[in-house]
Amino acid sequence: MEGLSERIAVVTSPEPLHPPRIVIVGAGFGGLSAATRLGRAEADVTVIDRHNHHLFQPLLYQIATAALSPADIAAPIRSILGRQRNTRVMLGTVTGIDVAGHAVMLGERRIPYDYLVIATGAQDAYFGHDEWATVTLSLKDVEEARAMRRRILIAFEHAEDSDDEAERRRLMTFVIVGGGPTGVELAGALAELSKATLARDFRRIDPTAARIILVEGGPRLVASFPPRLSAVAARALTRLGVELRLGVPVTDCDSNGVLLGVERIESRTVIWAAGVAASPAAQWLGVEAGRGGRLTVGPDLSLPEHPEIFVIGDTALVAGPGGDPLPGVAPVAKQQGTYVARAIIGRLTGRTPPPFRYRNAGNLATIGRREAIADFGWLRLSGRPAWLLWSVVHIYFLIGFRNRLVVAMEWLWSYLTYQRGARLITDERIETAPDQGLMGGHDDGSRATSSTT
Amino acid sequence: MEGLSERIAVVTSPEPLHPPRIVIVGAGFGGLSAATRLGRAEADVTVIDRHNHHLFQPLLYQIATAALSPADIAAPIRSILGRQRNTRVMLGTVTGIDVAGHAVMLGERRIPYDYLVIATGAQDAYFGHDEWATVTLSLKDVEEARAMRRRILIAFEHAEDSDDEAERRRLMTFVIVGGGPTGVELAGALAELSKATLARDFRRIDPTAARIILVEGGPRLVASFPPRLSAVAARALTRLGVELRLGVPVTDCDSNGVLLGVERIESRTVIWAAGVAASPAAQWLGVEAGRGGRLTVGPDLSLPEHPEIFVIGDTALVAGPGGDPLPGVAPVAKQQGTYVARAIIGRLTGRTPPPFRYRNAGNLATIGRREAIADFGWLRLSGRPAWLLWSVVHIYFLIGFRNRLVVAMEWLWSYLTYQRGARLITDERIETAPDQGLMGGHDDGSRATSSTT
C-alpha cells in the first residue's frame, strides 16, 4: 500500500506551484488513519483538532468511573505524527468552511486546501430537548469524563454528609439514559465502583445500596447486536444489581431526576448516553444533513457536488452491506480514513479509486469485569472468552506502546484488588464554592455522627 | 508503639459519655501520619480535608511538566483510612475554629473536638505583592499542577502558530522565580521537556531554543543544602541549558514578563516557586503568627494556651537541633504527626509525653534525569548515586503499592525514550474561548506555513 505513494512521480494538481494541500479536520480514529497513510505522500498535510491529543474514546467510560487516568487513553497528536515531515498539526477550532474559496475557517483565519477531509465525529443529541444538556452529564471528551467522575464521587461524599434521608436517596441514585454500548458499559462500571471499590470507605452510608438505573427507549439493550447477546447483557447487568427500564422513553429531565412516562425517578446524577448527532459539518458546508445530522457521501466518500471534500467516520452517512447505515464505531472510521488517503493519492495520479467497502471488524461491548459480548457476524461470543477478547483488542488498539502497558497493568491491578487507580475529585472548590464550607451546609450543632461501633 | 493504644483501659476524658473526639484538619503527610497512628485508639477520629485525596506533593512538579498523571501521585483519603473503624473522613473547607467552644467550623456547621490537630500545610507568599498571584503560576495542588502543564504546553502551541517574532520569543521564555528545591526541580524538568521530549514535534519553532530562566533572590540555589551541593545543582542546570540569575530580586511581575532590578525579561509563563506562608491557621485561632505565618508551639507541639490544640507540619514553627526552624518538608511533618498521635494517647491515659525531637531524615533534590543532591548531615551525595537514591526514596514513600508500580514504570519508560506520558492539554476550550478559533487569532489570509522541506 505504501507503494501507492511512492509511485507519485508527476503531480497533476491544478496549482503546480506548491504541492497539493490536504487539510484533515479532526484527529480521531478516522482523521488520524488518513493522516498517517498520507505521511509519505508528496503533499502538504495539515491536521486540525480542538484538542492536542488523540483520544481512545471507547475507553472514556473508564475515566468517568475512576478506573483509568486521562493520559492512559490519550496520546499527543504531535507526537503520533511527529516523524511525518510533510505533516503539520494545528490546535484550533473550526468555525466554518469557505467551500467556494477552498479554505477552512478558524475564526478569522483561513487555512486553504486542495483536498479536505472532514472527520469531526459526533456530539450528543437530546431528541429536541437541548435544555436537558444542562442537567445531565455526557461523555464525549476528557473534560466531560473528568466532570462525570467528579460528580459521581462527590455524590457519595454529599450523601455521607447529608442528614436529609430523601436527599441522600437522590444522591445515591444514578440514572443512565441510553442502552447502547456506552450506557451498558457505564452501568456495569458504576455498579462495580459502588458495590466493590467504595463498599468499605464510608461510615454513614452504604455505597453498595446505591441504585443504578439504565433506561432504554427501545425494546432491548445494545440493539446493534443480535437479540441473544442483548439478553446476555441484560442478565449480566441485573446480576450486578443494575435496574433496567426497557421500552421506556424519557419524557423530562431536571437537576433532581427524570420522568419516564408516569414514573418519576429522583436522582442527582443523570447521565446522557442516548443519541448522537454528527458534528456541525453540514452547517459549515451549507448542505442538507441526512439522518442523525450525518452527511450523505458518494461511493468514494466525497460529497456529490464537491469531489475535493471527503467526509468520514461518525460524520458520514454510508450504507453498509445490508443497506443499513454503517455504525459510528472506530473500525468504520479507521477503514474510511485509510480509504480516503488512498483515494486522494489515486486522484493526484489521475486514477479513479474503487468504491469504499467496509470489511466487518466485529462489534464488542463489556459489562463489568466478568461479562462481555462480541459479534463478528460469523462468530458470536459472550462470557469470559468475550471479556478476554475485549481486553486484548482494546489494549492492542490503544495508540502507543506505553499506554498499552499502563492500561494493562491498571486492569490487572483492579481485577485483582477491586481498587481503582484514579479516584480523584479535582476542581471541587469550584463545585463547593457557593456553600462556603461543606457541601451539605446544614447547621444542627450536634455531633455529626458517631463513627465507632 | 502500637502497645500504647492497646494499653488504654480507662478513658480519662472530661466527658465520659462519649469516646474522646479527635479532629485532624488536613490529610497531608502530617495529618495522615497522625490519623493512621490513632487508628486503634479508643477515640472518635475525624479527618477533614478540602480534597478527597492525599497528594504526594514532592512529585507535583512532575505533573506540571507532563511526566506523571495526577492519579499516579494521589490516593483517596477514604481508601487509605477505610479499614480504621474509629475514623471518619469529611470532605470540606474549614472556615474557622471556635476555640472557646471546642469546635471546627465548616461554614455554618460545627465539628466539635476534645483534641484538635492542625496540619493544614502552607500556601504561596508573594512578599507583599499579592497581585502577582494573578499573573504567575504556582504549584500547590493537582489543579494548579494541571493548569501549569496546560499553560506550558499551550505556550509552545501558540508559538508554533504565531507570526509575531517578539510574541514567539515571549511564549518560548519560561521564568521560574525561586531557587529552592521546587524551582530547581521544575527548571530541570522543563529543560528536558523542551530540549528532548518536544524537540521534533513542531514545524515552525524549535522547542530546543526555548529559554528557561531560574531566578533566586539569595546568593545560591537550594540554600537548605551545603554550599558544595548548591554548586552541583547550579552546574547541572547550566548543563541542561537553564539560565541562572542568582542574588537578583524580582521587583515586578505582569502577564508579559518580570522585572529583575533593571533587567526586564519578556515571558508569557512566569512560575512562582519562591515563598511559602502557613495556611490561615493563626487567623482561625486568633493568635499571633510567627515567621512565615507559622504558629509557635510548645515542646509537645501544642499551643501554649491551648494544650488540646496541636499544630504540626508546615503550619508549625518548631526549632530544630541547631536552633533554626525545622524546614517544611515531608519527613518533619510525618514525624510530628506520629508524635502528636502518641502524645494524645498519652494524655488520655494521664501521662505527659516527652518533648518532640526531630531525627534528621535527610534532604533530597533532583535536577533532570542525571543529577541529584542528597544531604544526610553525615553523608553528602551528588551525581548518579544521589539520583538513584532519590528515585528509590520517592517511589518507596509514594502511598499505595499501585502508585509505586505505575510511577516506576513511567520513569523507566521516559528514561529510555525521553517521551512523556501525560502531555495532555485539557480545559483548552476555556483558554481559547475569547479568540473564537485559533489562539493566535491573526488574519493574514496567506498559507500559514509550508510544512514540507
> Is the CB of A79 less than 8 angstroms away from the CB of B448?
no
Contacts of A200 in chain B (CB under 8 A): 82-83
Distance, in Å, from the CA atom of A90 to the CA atom of A48, rounded to the nearest integer, reads 5
Cell numbers at A280, concatenated: 456541525
- The torsion angles phi and psi of A122, rounded to 5 degrees, stand at -130, 165
Query: Quick one: pLDDT at residue B349?
Result: 87
Interface of A with B in 63-92 (CB under 8 A): 69-72, 74, 76, 78-79, 82-83, 85-92
B413: distance to nearest CA of chain A, Å? 7
B46 touches chain A (CB under 8 A): yes
pTM for this entry? 0.82
Identify whether the C-beta of residue B22 lies closer than 8 Å to the C-beta of residue B8: no
Identify whether the C-beta of residue B207 lies closer than 8 Å to the C-beta of residue B201: yes
**Confidence band, pLDDT 50/70/90 cuts, at residue A208:** very high
Identify whether the C-beta of residue A296 lies closer than 8 Å to the C-beta of residue A315: no
A164 touches chain B (CB under 8 A): no
Q: Are strands B103-106 and B109-112 parallel, antiparallel or unpaired?
A: antiparallel
Average pLDDT, chain A: 86
Q: Which of A157, A185, A216, A410 is catalytic?
A: A185
Mean pLDDT of A198-212: 93
Query: Quick one: pLDDT at residue A125?
Result: 85
Query: Quick one: pLDDT at residue A450?
Result: 32
A443 touches chain B (CB under 8 A): yes
Query: Quick one: pLDDT at residue B289?
Result: 86
Q: pLDDT for B366-417, tens place per residue? A: 998 789 999 988 889 999 889 888 888 888 887 665 666 677 777 777 666 6
Distance, in Å, from the CA atom of A102 to the CA atom of A112, rounded to the nearest integer, reads 6
Query: Quick one: pLDDT at residue A392?
Result: 86
Query: Quick one: pLDDT at residue A439?
Result: 33
Q: pLDDT for B202-254, tens place per residue? A: 999 999 999 999 999 999 999 989 999 999 999 999 999 999 999 999 999 99
State yes or no: pLDDT of A414 exceeds 80: no
A447 touches chain B (CB under 8 A): yes
A185 is catalytic: yes
A402 touches chain B (CB under 8 A): yes
- Give the nearest partner residue to A424 out of B74, B93, B111, using CB atoms: B74
Query: Quick one: pLDDT at residue A328?
Result: 87
**Cα-based distances in Å from B183 to B65, B149, B154:** 12, 15, 21
More confident residue, A450 or B9: B9
B208 touches chain A (CB under 8 A): no
Judged by average pLDDT, the poorest of A31-35, B224-228, B282-286, B436-440 is: B436-440
Contacts of A8 in chain B (CB under 8 A): none
B409 touches chain A (CB under 8 A): yes
State yes or no: pLDDT of A348 exceeds 60: yes
More confident residue, A155 or B411: A155
**Confidence band, pLDDT 50/70/90 cuts, at residue A370:** confident
Complex ipTM value: 0.78
Q: HEC profile for chain B?
A: CHHHHHCCCCCCCCCCCCCCEEEEECCCHHHHHHHHHCCCCCCEEEEEECCCEEECHHHHHHHHCCCCCHHHHEEEHHHHHCCCCCEEEEECCCCEEECCCCEEEECCEEEECCEEEECCCEEEECCCCHHHHHCCECCCCHHHHHHHHHHHHHHHHHHHHCCCHHHHHHHCEEEEECCCHHHHHHHHHHHHHHHHHCCCCCCCCCHHHCEEEEEECCCCCCCCCCHHHHHHHHHHHHHCCEEEEECCCCCEEECCEEEECCEEEECCEEEECCEEEECCHHHHHCCCCCHHHCEECCCCCEECCEEEEEECHHHEECECCCCCECCCCHHHHHHHHHHHHHHHHHHHCCCCCCCCCCCCCCEEEEECCCEEEEECCCCEEEHHHHHHHHHHHHHHHCCCHHHHHHHHHHHHHHHHHCCCCCCCCCCHHHHHHHHCCCCCCCCCCCCCCCCCC
State yes or no: pLDDT of A10 exceeds 90: no
Query: Quick one: pLDDT at residue A401?
Result: 56
Query: Quick one: pLDDT at residue B396?
Result: 80
**Cα-based distances in Å from A2 to A357, B71, B280:** 20, 41, 64
Q: pLDDT for B79-136, tens place per residue? A: 889 889 999 999 999 999 999 999 999 999 999 999 999 999 988 888 889 899 999 9
State yes or no: pLDDT of A4 exceeds 70: no
**Confidence band, pLDDT 50/70/90 cuts, at residue B11:** very low
State yes or no: pLDDT of B70 exceeds 80: yes
- Give the nearest partner residue to A108 out of B42, B424, B437, using CB atoms: B437
Interface test with B, best of A97, A102, A109 (most B CBs within 10 A): A109
Which residue, A121, A98, A105, A81, is CA-closest to A309? Answer: A98
Interface test with A, best of B80, B84, B86, B93 (most A CBs within 10 A): B93
Burial of B246 (0-12, 13-18, 19+ CB in 10 A): middle
**Confidence band, pLDDT 50/70/90 cuts, at residue B16:** low
Q: pLDDT for A28-76, tens place per residue? A: 999 999 999 999 999 999 999 999 999 998 899 999 998 888 888 888 8
How many residues belong to chain B? 453
Region for residue A327 given its phi and psi (left: phi exceeds 0; alpha: psi -120 to 50; beta: otherwise)? beta
A380 touches chain B (CB under 8 A): no
Contacts of A146 in chain B (CB under 8 A): 426
State yes or no: pLDDT of A442 exceeds 50: no
Query: Quick one: pLDDT at residue A402?
Result: 61
Interface of B with A in 107-146 (CB under 8 A): 107-112, 142-143, 146
> Is the CB of A106 less than 8 angstroms away from the CB of B438?
yes
More confident residue, A322 or A235: A235
> Is the CB of B142 less than 8 angstroms away from the CB of A426?
yes
B146: distance to nearest CA of chain A, Å? 10
B216: distance to nearest CA of chain A, Å? 31
Query: Quick one: pLDDT at residue A425?
Result: 75
Q: pLDDT for B301-347, tens place per residue? A: 999 999 999 999 999 999 888 788 898 889 999 999 999 999 999 99
Judged by average pLDDT, the poorest of A181-185, A363-367, B242-246, B251-255 is: A363-367
Contacts of B426 in chain A (CB under 8 A): 51, 70, 142-143, 146
Mean pLDDT of A404-415: 71
Query: Quick one: pLDDT at residue B206?
Result: 95
- Give the nearest partner residue to B201 out of A82, A201, A447, using CB atoms: A82
Query: Quick one: pLDDT at residue A436?
Result: 31
What angle separates helix B330-348 from helix B29-37, to the nearest 10 degrees?
Answer: 30
State yes or no: pLDDT of B9 exceeds 70: no
> Is the CB of B53 less than 8 angstroms away from the CB of A86?
no
Contacts of A426 in chain B (CB under 8 A): 51, 70, 142-143, 146
Shortest CA distance from A421: residue in chain B: B71
- The torsion angles phi and psi of A20, rounded to 5 degrees, stand at -60, 140
Mean pLDDT of B61-71: 90
**Confidence band, pLDDT 50/70/90 cuts, at residue A17:** low
- Give the nearest partner residue to B423 out of A79, A106, A439, using CB atoms: A79
> Is the CB of A200 less than 8 angstroms away from the CB of B82?
yes
Q: pLDDT for A83-134, tens place per residue? A: 899 999 999 999 999 999 999 999 999 999 999 999 999 888 888 898 999 9
